[in-house]
Structure formats: C-alpha cells, structure tokens
Amino acid sequence: CEFGYEKAWQYYETKMEETRYWKRKLGYHITTGLTKNEFYLEYQPIVDAASGRPLLMEALIRWEHPTLGTISPGRFIPLAEELGSIVALGRWVLMESCRMAASWKEAGHQNLIVSVNVSVKQLLEGKAFVQTVKEILEETALPPSLLELEITETVLMSKEGDIKKTLEQLEKLGVRLAIDDFGTGYSSLTHLNTFPVHTLKIDKSFIHNLSHQENNKAIVSSLVTLAGQLDLCSIAEGVETAEEAAVLKEKQCQGLQGYYFSRPLPAFEVPAYLQRMNPG
C-alpha cells in the first residue's frame, strides 16, 4: 500500500536528514558569521514606570546572513547552545554591549545599565566565564554596576556544574543579575532567595491582555509583591498597550519594557533616543 511502513519510514528518514543537514549548515554559518561581522546588536529600553525614563537597555542579538537572510535568535541561539558556539558568540555580545554602554556613559548617561542575555552554557564555563566578564569590564572601562546579566529561571534549577558558585563570583565582581522569563520556571521562593539576584523580569506571557485577564492580573500582582518582599527590582517585559502599562504601574512594577515604549533599536539610533528621553 502507498502509505506502508517502508514509505513512511523513508519519509521520516529524509526529514531527519534534512534537519541534520540544516543544523550542520547553520552551525557552520554561525562560526563564520562571527568572523564576517554578520551579527549585530539592537537595544531595547526598559523604562522607569514612574518617570518614563530609560533605566536599562537590553542587548538583543541579530543575524543578517548574506544569502540565508534574516535569521531570528529564537532559531539560532538554541542551535549555538547545542553546538557550543554560544560561548564565542556570547563573548562577542558581552564585549560589544559593554563597549556600547561605556560610550553612553561617556555621553553623560551616568546610570544607564546595559542588560545582556547569558546562556546556561556560558555559565557552565564557571571560572573561565567570570574571568571573561572581568576582562571585558576592564577593557571597556565599564563600571561593573552598569552591567546586568539576564539568566532564565530554569538555569537556577540546573543540576550541572556549580551555577550558584559562578553567580556568587559574578556578584563579587559587582555586576547585577536578573532572572529572565520569571514565573515560567516554577522555582520555589526559598530556592530563589539563596541566589544573589537583583532583578526579576516577569515573563511576557503574563503581561499580554493584562487588562482583560483577571488571572494574569493576579499573577503579575503577586510576582511584583514577591519581588518587593525579597528586595528585588521588578521588570515587566512585552508591554504592548497603554492599558497593560497602566495596570503594571498600578501594581507598582518598577521597570517596563515592550513595543508600547520602544521596539529594539539599532545602536546608531540609541544616542538620539536617550537624548530625547533625558532632556536637559
């Protein structure tokens, strides 16, 4: 019969080959792309809920391949993690964003923090990663307090390596630590409290439709309260409407980020944006 076992299996195998082929191809392009300057960063502001002024800028990686076109980080970051190229890529992101943050400081934005996404694979490098961060801060002359590292909540639950020790060494350097996608990882409170964390970034899945969804409102409210009780800063990501912003302000969330305030900006647009938001 047409859809016999053989046929189905052949089809399955072809599909698998295709994915493996693409993975290998993309993986190769990630490594060469780094030397060919195909990656760049955009920066998305996180504004103070009360004043509307930017507190932090989150660095978000972009890839424009000459023939494959634009490839989203959602597609190539997991692959880079799987292949190990995330370590070199992540190092480049750190260097580039710290250099940029130092230039904003030079331009008079004394307290503006740059926030950088860090993969668990980078943290698992342990001492070597801490050393990398230290060297980059020295080379760029960026005060450690102006660098925030974003790690996802699931990283805290990783059984591999000694993540906690690495985070403690990073805190000793004076950098800030944020928990990204907070609320999606089911980490316990007592657990959270044992890590040297400064900021909770409430996942955007809770922010969407905030004004119409009572359960999301309740969740956000308790996450903001939790942050306050643990003496942590709270940031909401994915804020898309004035209504969502209003609810978050009412709930006393401190930092707001999302398309409603600003899309991620190319580096060359940042100075004008900062000037506009911090007049005089």
The site for ligand C2E (CB under 6 A) is made up of: 44, 59-61, 72-74, 77, 90, 93, 117, 119, 180-181, 204, 237-240, 258-259, 264
What part of residues 179-208 is at the interface with Ca ion (CB under 5 A)? 180-181
Per CB under 5 A, does 42 bind Ca ion? no
The DSSP code for 63 is: E
- Provide the H-helix boundaries in 36-126: 73-83, 86-106, 120-123
The DSSP code for 3 is: T
Per CB under 5 A, does 150 bind Ca ion? yes
- Which partner from the list ligand C2E, Ca ion, none does 61 bind, CB cut-off 5 to 8 Å by kind? ligand C2E
CB of 85 to ligand C2E, least distance (A): 11
- Which partner from the list Ca ion, ligand C2E, none does 119 bind, CB cut-off 5 to 8 Å by kind? ligand C2E
CB of 59 to ligand C2E, least distance (A): 6
Question: Please, what sign has the CA dihedral across residues 167, 170, 172, 177?
Answer: negative
When binding is defined by CB under 5 A, the residue of 117, 122, 140, 262 that contacts Ca ion is 117
Task: Identify which of residues 77 and 170 has a Cβ nearer to ligand C2E in the complex.
Answer: 77
Given a contact cutoff of 8 angstroms between Cβ atoms, the answer to whether 125 and 86 are in contact is no
Distances (CA, A) of 35 to 30, 38, 85, 121: 9, 8, 12, 21
CA-to-CA distance for 98 and 17, rounded, in angstroms? Answer: 40
Tokens of 132: 């990398």
Positions in the binding site for Ca ion (CB under 5 A) = 117, 150, 180-181
